[in-house]
Amino acid sequence: MKSVSELGDLRGKRVVIRCDFNVPLDGQTITDDGRIRAALPTLTELRDAGARVAVMAHLGRPKGEANPKYSLAPVAARLSELLGTEVKLAADVVGDSAKQTVDSLADGEIALLENVRYEPAEESKDEAERAELAAKYAAFGDVFVSDGFGVVHRKQASVYDVAKLLPSAAGTLVKKETDILATLTKDPARPFVVVLGGAKVADKLNVIDNLLKIADTLVIGGGMLFTFLKAQGFEIGNSIVDESNVETCKRYLDEAAAAGKQIILPVDVRVADGADFAAKTPQGDVEVVAADAIPAGKAGLDIGPESEKLFADAIRGAKTVFWNGPMGVFEIEEFSNGTKAVAQALTEVDGLSVVGGGDSAAAVRDLGFADEAFGHISTGGGASLEYLEGKELPGLTVLEEDK
Ligand code: 3PG
Ligand code: MG
């Protein structure tokens, strides 16, 4: 992968760059600008080099239609603030407004195209359709820079196809993220502990499979833990469960035991009748029960205090930690303790601690932790998990290909 400095003198050159500005919004308000801040080093580098920069990005899943709900307007405003200069937003992606906006750029200026997912071809499965759109993107630049790490697992026109048409380089964010993930998979300082949470076990099966080969210890919390408890034959009441994967979880537990690896599951859980997501409150009383004795009719919504200690000890004893996925329904105060305890333990690691993307990154900031308290907060949830699954990421492979 080339770096930006290898693209030569960029003064007066047009650079088209892919960033991942898929930030969480509450109406028009950005609730976590981590992904925008993460793009600043490369954007400033390009600006300082005197390039004329057109930024491509997506927000949400507008499914090929222009929809103000998914406009990048809040992103353009925040980016302007952070850069201290106005970033103009084109009214379309590759139409007249985009062309005019790009043509009007002076050296060192940055503009944003509208949400690339307004274009139906952006996410098309048809290579020719994507290539046609990518050619329009490529017309906006003399070179392409890929810096949207959070989307490099997507084979999409602004991520993959455009890189085939222009001299391309990885931005500093993509470089940094891939360097760290390479360290985790190839040469982690040991013990290497991986903490996985989140609601859906199905999302994590491949990563568990691959990490059982690489990590020393796997710690499991979040909604997915109940499928593991069920695999051990425990009563799980009304807790979330993925029946179709109970056998797979059982196999992982057996495989881990045979390979001398540790899978740490909670010993206790916080339960209630349920959770009212809209009101952000538990339904019924919150109780702590043993993990093998969840009462019928109750749902597990966070790990319990004994488990917090158990997890925190495992994390603090590690030299390398990767964490993805909350331990409970952290948006509800009463069920945020497990996630807080894990985040706190990560800040105390004497070694490399990595928070993996999306929801986990937003969770730690939401809970009041500073970015600097961790070794690295990834901007890519799906992307970092697919990397750890050992999959090829199209947005990276295309940068590695010779042109
Ligand atoms: C993300 O937030 O996961 C990335 O921006 C990719 O978005 P997507 O999952 O909608 O492709
Ligand atoms: Mg996603």
Which tokens in the block code for residue 99?
């062309």
- HSE-CB at 322 with a 13 A cutoff on CA atoms is 29
Instruction: Give the distance (Å) from ligand 2 centre to CA of residue 160.
Output: 17
Q: Whose CA is nearest to atom 2 of ligand 1?
A: 22
Q: What is the pLDDT along the chain (403 residues), one digit of tens a residue?
A: 999 999 999 999 999 999 999 999 999 999 999 999 999 999 999 999 999 999 999 999 999 999 999 999 999 999 999 999 999 999 999 999 999 999 999 999 999 999 999 999 999 999 999 999 999 999 999 999 999 999 999 999 999 999 999 999 999 999 999 999 999 999 999 999 999 999 999 989 999 999 999 999 999 999 999 999 999 999 999 999 999 999 999 999 999 999 999 999 999 999 999 999 999 999 999 999 999 999 999 999 999 999 999 999 999 999 999 999 999 999 999 999 999 999 999 999 999 999 997 778 888 988 999 999 999 999 999 999 999 999 999 999 999 985 5
Strand pairing partners for 290? 268
- The per-residue b/e assignment along 87-101, b for 16 or more CB within 10 angstroms, e otherwise, is bbbbebbbbebbeeb
Q: Which ligand is nearest to the CA of 198?
A: 2
Q: Of 171, 357, 382, 395, which one is the catalytic site residue? A: 382
- pTM comes to 0.93
Amino acid at 146: S
Q: Is 260 a catalytic residue?
A: no
**What is the Cα–Cα distance from 185 to 387, expressed in whole angstroms?**
9
Pocket test for ligand 1, best of 21, 33, 58, 386 (most atoms within 8 A of CB): 58
**What is the Cα–Cα distance from 317 to 184, expressed in whole angstroms?**
16
**What is the Cα–Cα distance from 267 to 272, expressed in whole angstroms?**
17
Binding-site residues, ligand 1, Cβ < 6 A: 20, 22, 61, 150-151, 154, 358, 381-382
Q: Is 35 a catalytic residue?
A: yes
Q: Of 35, 155, 175, 365, which one is the catalytic site residue? A: 35
Ligand 2 is an ion; its neighbours by CB within 5 Å are 382
Q: Kindly report, residue by residue over 138-176, the tens digit of the pLDDT.
A: 999 999 999 999 999 999 999 999 999 999 999 999 999
Pocket test for ligand 1, best of 151, 160, 177, 200 (most atoms within 8 A of CB): 151
Q: Kindly report, residue by residue over 207-260, the tens digit of the pLDDT.
A: 999 999 999 999 999 999 999 999 999 999 999 999 999 999 999 999 999 999
